Amino acid sequence: MLRQNGWACLVRRGILFRPEGALLLTLSTTHVPATDLGYLLHKNPSRPQSFELAFGQAHVFYPEASPERCTAALLLEVDPVALVRGRRGSSGEGGALEQYVNDRPYVASSFMSVALSRLFSSALAGRSQERPELAERELPLVARVSVLPCRGGEAFLRRLLEPLGYRVTATPHALDETVPEWGPSRYFTVTIEGHKRVSELLTHLYVLIPVLDDDKHYWVTEDEVDKLLRHGEGWLAAHPEREHITRRYLRHQKSLAREALEQLLGEEHTSPEERERARDEAEAALEARLSLNEQRLRAVVAELQAGGVTRVVDLGCGEGRLLKALLQERRFTDILGMDVSWRSLDIARERLDLERMPELQRKRVKLIHGSLMYRDQRLAGYEAATVIEVVEHLDPPRLAAFERVLFEFARPERVVLTTPNAEFNVRFENLPTGRFRHADHRFEWTRAQFEAWARGLASRFGYTVRFGPVGPVDEEVGAPTQMAVFTR
Ligand code: SAH
């Protein structure tokens, strides 16, 4: 009966077609009565449940539920199309294709950890309303993960799990079953067994699955340090592989890993090697900042190239970062930078080294003083305009003037516009809640606000618009920068 309600029911409902090929985590116990597992996981053994997650669907059901043995299964269907949708326009066709053709939908990864934390949050935290005393107890547990990618192979898998007191069985998958001479892949079906609290075992999986996979589907920020320390409490500090675990969990971001290890072990315990790494820290932090800027410039230049643009005006060019990048590409033969700030224009002139530029080069670029608030004849005749991190500096009541200046009067064929994504602000460690990234920002838009504004504008002035993230895409809050590309 219960069996029927498990697999069979899902198969009937068309949720499950090939259980043997699905991405699956099972957790079994022989504690008597085994069906208490349902209370510990807060999921009723007789009722299969499905959950919508940002990256696909998760199903929880019990393939077996007798008093002697009970198995809960978490089945994850990662939707490759949803993954791509979340990143539309990120890197052109090649990028999208690469995202379709990858292993993510088929292997246990950070998606599994997200699903664990969403579906089993109480169990992870060791809470159970009906069986609080059982949540505290070590029970005979077996967990099985089908298709776990293990970078570092079986040896590393064992070095991670055996010190935690698990018996580990790992069955490697062939790279291609039809071509045995290719040898094993880095994918394993892994079973771990031990007497553990349910919360302990789930926590170990939560942390170690992405560590083994050595990849995460979202950008790792400061709060991952807290997450790691919280979930690592009671076991990570004493783990012989704690440094590996920490580094991989934090995706090899040295400064974060060092911070985590320091908090984990106390400063005096950090190795000389770790202290040496500290010297890189300032540079790494700087690089992180540079790289967002860099990524933004690259995204903009790529859009202009893709549009076959040769003549472009950069509105609110500031200190000329984009102008410099444009000059490096021969295709841009006519580049105009405009800004309202004389000081910025001076810095731009220096940055570009205009005075010492060879005559031919110099002819390609011009800097002018002007305001986006006023209709300006000098802006006419360019194929494209870029407005990079500028609109958020304009007073909202004056946005309408800017819209007309650009879309009605200058009217280039293509406009590439970027602005901060306000949703991402929670990921900046030093930014107090509710504050803008820059003192001069008049507003910062969420993705929905930006898209609503841009769509309205496009339809009023006869443009079409598409959007793309710039910078690493966080599953929940999106990318740090958002970009709109208008074409007419
Ligand atoms: N696009 C540059 C600078 C962004 S900072 C970059 O990405 O690095 C915003 C810039 O917009 C500043 O240089 C500021 O002087 C300029 N700006 C603000 N209001 C403006 C206006 N009304 N007209 C033209 N430029 C303006």
Q: Average pLDDT in the 17-34 region?
A: 75
Instruction: Give, using CA atoms, the residue closest to atom 9 of ligand 1.
Output: 390
Which helix H or strand E contains 366, and what residues bound it? strand 365-369
Q: Average pLDDT in the 174-202 region?
A: 82
293 CB near ligand 1 (under 6 Å): no
Q: What sign does the dihedral 431-436-439-445 (CA atoms) show? A: positive
Q: Average pLDDT in the 242-254 region?
A: 85
Q: Average pLDDT in the 467-471 region?
A: 91
Q: Average pLDDT in the 347-373 region?
A: 90
Distances (CA, A) of 424 to 155, 336, 420, 455, 476: 38, 31, 8, 21, 9
C-alpha 150 – ligand 1 centre gap (Å)? 48
92's CB contacts (< 8 A; 6+ apart) are 302, 306
C-alpha 436 – ligand 1 centre gap (Å)? 16
pLDDT reported for residue 87: 42
Instruction: Give, using CA atoms, the residue closest to atom 10 of ligand 1.
Output: 316
pLDDT reported for residue 60: 95
- CB distance 198 to 145 below 8 Å: no
CA distance 270 to 254: 13
pLDDT reported for residue 182: 67
CA distance 188 to 167: 15
CA distance 45 to 3: 10
pLDDT reported for residue 379: 96
- Read off the pLDDT of residues 294-339 as tens digits, 9 standing for 90 and up: 889 989 999 999 999 999 999 999 999 999 999 999 999 999 999 9
CA distance 366 to 5: 72
Q: Sorting pLDDT into bands at 50, 70 and 90, what band is 40?
A: very high
Instruction: Give, using CA atoms, the residue closest to atom 15 of ligand 1.
Output: 341
> Which segment of 7-21, 137-151, 280-294 scores lowest on mean pLDDT?
7-21
Instruction: Please check the confidence at residue 444 and state whether its pLDDT lies above 70.
Output: yes
389 CB near ligand 1 (under 6 Å): yes
Which amino acid belongs to residue 181?
A: E
Instruction: Please check the confidence at residue 54 and state whether its pLDDT lies above 80.
Output: no
First to last CA, the chain: 62
Query: From edge to edge, which strands make up the β-sheet containing 334-339?
Result: 365-369, 334-339, 311-315, 384-388, 414-420, 481-487, 464-470
* pTM exceeds 0.85, yes or no: no
From 323, 338, 393, mutation site for ligand 1 pocket: most ligand atoms within 8 A of C-beta: 393
- Read off the pLDDT of residues 378-419 as tens digits, 9 standing for 90 and up: 999 999 999 999 999 999 989 999 999 999 999 999 999 999
C-alpha 314 – ligand 1 centre gap (Å)? 10
pLDDT reported for residue 103: 59
Instruction: Please check the confidence at residue 283 and state whether its pLDDT lies above 50.
Output: no
- Read off the pLDDT of residues 157-182 as tens digits, 9 standing for 90 and up: 999 999 999 999 999 887 666 666 66
Instruction: Please check the confidence at residue 257 and state whether its pLDDT lies above 70.
Output: yes
442's CB contacts (< 8 A; 6+ apart) are 392, 393, 394, 395, 396
243 CB near ligand 1 (under 6 Å): no
> Which segment of 35-39, 51-55, 209-213 scores lowest on mean pLDDT?
51-55
C-alpha 487 – ligand 1 centre gap (Å)? 22
Instruction: Please check the confidence at residue 206 and state whether its pLDDT lies above 60.
Output: yes
Instruction: Please check the confidence at residue 243 and state whether its pLDDT lies above 70.
Output: yes
297 CB near ligand 1 (under 6 Å): no
Q: Average pLDDT in the 19-30 region?
A: 75
C-alpha 226 – ligand 1 centre gap (Å)? 36
From 321, 341, 390, 442, mutation site for ligand 1 pocket: most ligand atoms within 8 A of C-beta: 390
Domains of the chain: 2-218 (3.30.1610.20), 289-487 (3.40.50.150)
Q: Give the count of beta carbons closer than 10 Å to the beta carbon of residue 405.
A: 20
Dihedral angle over CA of 278, 281, 283, 287, nearest 10: 150
- Bridge partner list, 192: 143, 168
476's CB contacts (< 8 A; 6+ apart) are 54, 218, 423
Instruction: Please check the confidence at residue 222 and state whether its pLDDT lies above 80.
Output: no
Instruction: Give, using CA atoms, the residue closest to atom 12 of ligand 1.
Output: 318
Instruction: Please check the confidence at residue 64 and state whether its pLDDT lies above 70.
Output: yes
Q: Average pLDDT in the 338-359 region?
A: 88
371 CB near ligand 1 (under 6 Å): yes
- Bridge partner list, 53: 56
pLDDT reported for residue 96: 38
- Read off the pLDDT of residues 80-121 as tens digits, 9 standing for 90 and up: 665 555 443 333 333 333 443 455 556 667 788 888 988 999
Tokens 């547990």 sit on residue: 141
C-alpha 482 – ligand 1 centre gap (Å)? 17
Instruction: Please check the confidence at residue 346 and state whether its pLDDT lies above 60.
Output: yes
316 CB near ligand 1 (under 6 Å): yes
393 CB near ligand 1 (under 6 Å): yes
Mean pLDDT computed over every residue of the chain = 83
Instruction: Tell me the two tokens of residue 175.
Output: 């790279």
Beta-carbon-side half-sphere exposure of residue 268 (alpha carbons within 13 Å): 0
> Which segment of 67-81, 214-228, 316-330, 434-448 scores lowest on mean pLDDT?
214-228
CA distance 320 to 327: 10
Higher pLDDT, 189 or 418: 418
Highest mean pLDDT among 16-20, 43-47, 176-180, 438-442: 43-47
Q: What share of the chain is helix, strand, coil (3-state, %, to 5)?
A: 45, 20, 30
pLDDT reported for residue 483: 96
The percentage of the chain sitting over the pLDDT mark of 70, rounded to a whole number, equals 81
339 CB near ligand 1 (under 6 Å): yes
Phi, psi of 176 (to 5 degrees): -150, 115
Among 42, 40, 41, 72, CA closest to 59:
72
Among 27, 24, 23, 22, CA closest to 192:
27
Q: Average pLDDT in the 202-214 region?
A: 91
Instruction: Please check the confidence at residue 132 and state whether its pLDDT lies above 70.
Output: yes
Q: Average pLDDT in the 185-205 region?
A: 92
413's CB contacts (< 8 A; 6+ apart) are 307, 383, 384, 487, 488
- Number of residues in the chain: 488
149 CB near ligand 1 (under 6 Å): no
Q: Where are the alpha helices (DSSP H) in 136-197?
A: 153-161
- CB distance 381 to 441 below 8 Å: no
* One-letter-per-residue 3-state SS of 242-309: HHHHHHHHCCCCHHHHHHHHHHHHCHHHCCHHHHHHHHHHHHHHHHHHHHHHHHHHHHHHHHHHHCCC
C-alpha 437 – ligand 1 centre gap (Å)? 15
Instruction: Please check the confidence at residue 284 and state whether its pLDDT lies above 80.
Output: no
C-alpha 321 – ligand 1 centre gap (Å)? 12
Which helix H or strand E contains 449, and what residues bound it? helix 447-461
